[in-house]
Amino acid sequence: MSGEIPSFHDAKFVGIQLLGEKARLTLVRYNGEPWEIVLTGLEALQMDNFRQGNIVTHFELIQKVRPDKELLERLFPSPHPAAAQVYQDAYAEFLDKKVALVEAGQAVLLSIEPAYGADLIAFTGQLSAKKLTSTPV
């Protein structure tokens, strides 16, 4: 992770751009400062309910700690319960590897929870943040 990341509580989540294995998120802090969050080596991103006027209540970077498997399960859904045990076992091993990457600091899990609007979870190799010089249109 690079760049000092401020609090995004009560920020407006105003944009997202997906470019293959990269994503750019644009947020405007409560004080009007525009910020760009860049996810590089993006492996999975899941977002619901993006609207005009998204307001962030919780912005969390999860790295070098054990992540909540429920977040990973949202990004990487499990096989159908009736699927053969071999698939269930492979999925459990897959999730354990993702947990290990986050714990080792080799991946970042980003969680954005809304007061209103967009709910986002992303699994990425790197995350950087920078303050923009002008408010995006």
Q: Is the pLDDT of residue 1 over 80?
A: no
Query: Domain range spanning residue 37?
Result: 12-131
Give the torsion sign (CA, 72, 76, 77, 81): negative
Q: Is the pLDDT of residue 15 over 90?
A: yes
3 found inside a domain: no
pLDDT of residue 4: 78
pLDDT tens column, 27-86: 999 999 999 999 999 999 999 999 999 999 999 999 999 999 999 999 999 999 999 999
- pTM of this structure: 0.92
pLDDT of residue 33: 95
137 found inside a domain: no
The rounded distance, in Å, linking the Cα atoms of 37 and 27 is 8
Number of domains observed in the structure of the chain: 1
Residue type, 124: T
pLDDT of residue 2: 55
6 found inside a domain: no
